[in-house]
A and B are shown apart, each in its own frame.
Chain A
Amino acid sequence: MNGGQDLGGMHGFGPVVAEPNEPVFHAEWERRAFALTLAMGMPGGWNIDMSRFARENRPPGEYLAMSYYQIWFAALESMMKERGLVADDEIAAGRSMHPAKAVTRVLSPDDVLKVLHRGGPTERETNTRPAFQSGDRVRAKTINPPTHTRLPRYVRGHVGEIERVIGCHVFPDSNALGAGENPQWLYTVRFDGRELWGADGDPTLSVSVDAWQPYLERA
């Protein structure tokens, strides 16, 4: 979606301000919101692409005014509500008022380190061959899906070069919709800074994105 999350190339946000000796969390609620989000992935049954879409799918002004953990928490609430795992009256009351839904698995303390260490690899076996090879010139397609996609606006319509064939990976545009993993070949595509930004671009700059095959066409 062309939402508030797709920020590459925008102007007006001012300088990057780093906080010296920044703590990992800035408030207790951030700790809990972070942990709840990770822990609910298992019983919640959603995938990372659904989570990302739940975070970005809000009015851009709202997205930009929220802190990152506020966005995470809002997405967690909305995903749980959509699946009937929790209701508004329960959050308002701060207690469970309806029967719990059956969930497949709950994250136990004994499993935490195992689950984190395993992670969620996205590479999949395939019997297809990649359509592009290193050195091929490709154009990022002009696409504007209102649903989740990982092709940022600033590269759409621009020509770059395949730098690396990464492998066959879960396709977020399908996975976010619950339409299956639909694995696709993934490539590192390098664009010249001048191709992306014209004469305003830094002549020493090149930028790459990792792009799935359906995002690309031969140039």
Chain B
Amino acid sequence: MSGHHDHDHDHSELTETQLRVRALETVLTEKGYVDPAALDLLIETYETKVGPRNGARVVAKAWADPAYRARLFKDATSAIGELGYAGRQGEHIVALENTAAQHNMVVCTLCSCYPWPVLGLPPVWYKSAPYRSRAVSDPRGVLKDFDVTLPADTKIRVWDSTAEIRYLVIPMRPAGTDGWSEEKLAELVTRDSMIGTGVAKQP
């Protein structure tokens, strides 16, 4: 897929898409199939409320609270639900633990499956052909694109989200964070570290 923010994109084609979307929304509203206020709320929800801060809170809690961590690896959907995150594109979640021995990375080679309740909507690169084609065959090359180099003997496990199971990577907790609060720990958790294309920030 092309990134639509590419500047070499045909401008007239973009304008045509804009007009077509507006036209369809008008038609659907006139027919009574959609309520524009519901559309506004859907957009507001994913633009301001559901995003990777949710996942960061899950990860920080797993780092700080051993009982929560145990529940998360046993039944992530339920443990994540304890924090109020659930539903669409996160109906069945599995948490994956990154360790020095194994690094997990998540992809959807067939479309754009992504754990919305904890990470929000996927970034363009996650849905793009370069990531979807190479994550399963050359994950170290992909990691290099993200300036991440893993030790040569670290095993790499790639999870292709081909069904309705959504995967959340729990990155390794950075050293030097003993005794930190969950709030402070959450600031170290990046979106990419929960996909497996990054690692947590160092304090």
A residues contacting B by CB (< 8 A) are: 5-11, 13-19, 22, 24-36, 38-40, 43-44, 48, 52, 55-56, 63-71, 73, 76-77, 85-86, 90-96, 100-101, 103, 106-109, 111-113, 115-123, 150-152, 154, 166, 169-170, 172, 186, 188, 190, 196-197, 200-202, 204-212
Residues of A contacting B177 with CB < 8 Å? none
Q: Which listed residue (B21, B31, B154) contacts A86, Cβ 8 A? A: B31
Alpha-carbon distance between A106 and B35 when the two chains are bound, in angstroms: 7
Q: In the complex the two chains form, is A16's CB within 8 Å of B162's CB?
A: no
Main secondary structure of the interface of A (DSSP, over half): mixed
CA A198 to CA B165, docked complex, whole Å? 28
Structural contact, A36 and B5, CB atoms closer than 8 A: no
User: Could you count the A-B residue pairs with CB atoms below 8 Å apart for me: how many are there?
Assistant: 286
| Complex CA distance for A56 and B86, rounded to whole angstroms | 27
A74 to chain B, nearest CB (A): 9
Provide the bound-state CA to CA distance between A208 and B105, in Å.
11
**B75 in the interface (beta carbon within 8 A):** no
Question: Interface on chain B toward A: helix, strand, loop, or mixed SS?
Answer: mixed
In the complex, the chain B residue whose C-beta lies closest to that of A70 is B17
Closest-CB distance, B50 to chain A (whole angstroms): 8
A9-B137, A19-B5 known; A112 and B38 CB under 8 Å? yes
Residues of B at under 8 Å CB distance from A? 1-5, 14, 17-28, 30-35, 37-43, 45-47, 51, 86-92, 109-112, 120-121, 123-125, 127-140, 142, 145-146, 152-165, 192, 197
Beta-carbon contact of A121 and B4 below 8 Å: no
Closest B residue to A31 using CB positions = B43
Count chain B CB atoms within 10 A of each CB in A8, A13, A112 and give the residue with the most: A8
Contact B92 A68 (CB under 8 A): no
Contacts of A73 in B (CB 8 A): 17, 20-21, 24
Q: State A16–B22 Cα separation when bound (angstroms).
A: 31
In the complex, the answer to whether B160 meets A119 with C-beta atoms within 8 Å is no
The residue in chain B whose Cβ has the minimal distance to the Cβ of A167 is: B92
When the two chains form their complex, are residues A32 and B22 in contact, meaning their CB atoms are under 8 A apart? yes
With A17-B130, A154-B136 as contacts: A208 and B160 at CB distance below 8 Å: yes
- Asked if residues B45 and A86 are in contact (CB atoms below 8 Å), the reply is no
Q: Which of B19, B112, B136, B153 contacts A68 (CB 8 A)?
A: B112
Contact A112 B41 (CB under 8 A): yes
The 15 listed contacts between A and B (C-beta, < 8 Å) are A7-B129, A8-B133, A9-B136, A10-B129, A32-B25, A32-B43, A39-B38, A43-B33, A119-B86, A152-B160, A186-B163, A200-B137, A206-B155, A210-B160, A210-B165
